[in-house]
Amino acid sequence: MKRPEPVQVIKQRRDAALMQLADSIPYIRFLGVGFERRGDELTATLPYNEKLVGNPILPALHGGAVGAFLEITAQIELAWSIYWPQFEAGATGPRTIPKTIDFTVDYLRSGLPRDAYARAVVNRSGRRFASVHVEAWQDNRSKLFAQATGHFLLISENG
């Protein structure tokens, strides 16, 4: 009987797989977005940076940066949910990120000049299309400052 892998080995493999997914979108590095994994749940973090301020008088985060943060979170959550079984089986190698069909952002209040967090939920994932909802907050999880819904085209790894 095969001995189970040590927990640290499994965690390292999962974290490496998540970093590989995140590295496949160059804009993630530009914005400084990071991902924290707890089991199969992901929380995205957008660290505050002055370059993200759209209105210095308020100051408020730029709507484009907020929208990009939400879209990135949705794409990575969807990709993670699709590839999770493969990662658990020890697979490595590049993965295709789902392509955005449409993405609608609801700006609920101004994003303050501080770190932001987001979590996405895959509402439906079929063979070709998926629907994802994402919510963003700053200090209090129950006080969202933005939310979005997106539809994505799932690209086959086999072409």
pLDDT score at 157: 60
7-153 CATH fold: Thiol Ester Dehydrase; Chain A (3.10.129)
- Share the mean pLDDT of the chain: 89
Give me the residue spans of the domains in the chain.
7-153
Tens of pLDDT, residue by residue over 109-147, are 999 999 999 999 999 999 899 999 999 999 999 999 999
pTM: 0.89
Largest interatomic CA distance in the chain: 65
Q: 74-122: per-residue pLDDT in tens? A: 999 999 888 877 777 766 666 788 999 999 999 999 999 999 999 999 9
Tell me the torsion sign for CA atoms 109, 110, 113, 115: positive
**CB burial class (10 A; 0-12, 13-18, 19+) of residue 118?**
buried
Q: Which amino acid is at 49?
A: N
Report which of 95, 101, 90 is spatially closest to residue 79, judged by C-alpha positions. 95
**pLDDT tier at 34 (50, 70, 90 boundaries)?**
very high
